[in-house]
Amino acid sequence: MKYNRILLKLSGESLMGSQGYGIDPERLNSYASQIQRVADKGVQIGIVIGGGNIFRGLSGAARGFDRVKGDQMGMMATVINSLALSSAFEAIGQPAKVFTAIPMFPVGYPYSKWEAIKAMKEGSIAIMSCGTGSPYFTTDTGSALRAIEIEADVMLKGTRVDGVYTADPEKDPEAKKFDKITYDEVIARNLKVMDITATALCKENDMPIYVFNMDKEGNLEKMIEGENVGTLVSNN
């Protein structure tokens, strides 16, 4: 196995599946079983989920909400998604534990690095919600932070495209995919891998990011086994 401990970032939007809003149970169950197959191989798994399928602070602010309250609403949305995913895991017999960066026990357990690592070592999937727990951040930054904290070997960013391209492949048919790229190049070329805060945090702490298409069944397993199914972003 190429990696022993991973942090998987799932966007809230990916949970919508073919719906325009909310959570598609089919997509949720497909993710849960793909992730379980990787857990069955003995890989320790931490997960951070976004909340964009329910609420984003920035769009709230655009509609007149206080930004900090809007961001708190966005963080609550990540809790909703995390609970949904943990429920899908439990339904297939996969132990999972939801942590919240903002204390709200018994909805989830208060997040701490050591409790998350303990849960993973005991065979549970650690789902870390609320992003960083602070407004003005994104769940990309939250997942970079958690990946570094839990000492993951890699941060996996599951997206709708199969890696990092020279341009948006959904808009530009000439776009070419990178197998490997540096953080500096991602920032210099303004490639939309993750926001700059998240990318800079990974760069400073040498946390490799692997971008791949999570919606192609089996990709997650292939990636874990070392197959080249996406793009690796690192310092060299």
| Binding site residues, ligand UDP, CB under 6 A | 11-13, 50-52, 56-58, 70-71, 74-75, 77-78, 131-132, 134-135, 137-142
User: Residue 57 or 108: which CB sits closer to ligand UDP?
Assistant: 57
Residue 122 beta carbon to ligand UDP: minimum distance, rounded to whole angstroms: 26
User: Residue 13 or 153: which CB sits closer to ligand UDP?
Assistant: 13
Residue 110 to residue 103: CA distance in whole angstroms: 5
Residue 22 to residue 37: CA distance in whole angstroms: 25
Residue 150 beta carbon to ligand UDP: minimum distance, rounded to whole angstroms: 16
Residue 121 beta carbon to ligand UDP: minimum distance, rounded to whole angstroms: 25
HEC sequence for 208-226: CEEEEECCCCCHHHHHHCC
- Look at the alpha carbons of 52, 142, 74, 120 in this order and tell me if their dihedral is positive or negative: positive
Residue 76 beta carbon to ligand UDP: minimum distance, rounded to whole angstroms: 8
Which residue has its beta carbon closest to ligand UDP? 50
Residue 15 beta carbon to ligand UDP: minimum distance, rounded to whole angstroms: 8
User: Residue 123 or 210: which CB sits closer to ligand UDP?
Assistant: 210
Burial of 177 (0-12, 13-18, 19+ CB in 10 A): middle
User: Residue 52 or 230: which CB sits closer to ligand UDP?
Assistant: 52
Q: Which residues sit opposite 164 in a β-bridge?
A: 178
Helix (H/G/I), strand (E/B), else coil: 126:
strand
Say whether the peptide bond before residue 106 is cis (omega within 30 degrees of 0). Answer: yes
User: Residue 77 or 126: which CB sits closer to ligand UDP?
Assistant: 77
**Total Cβ atoms within 10 A of residue 40:** 10
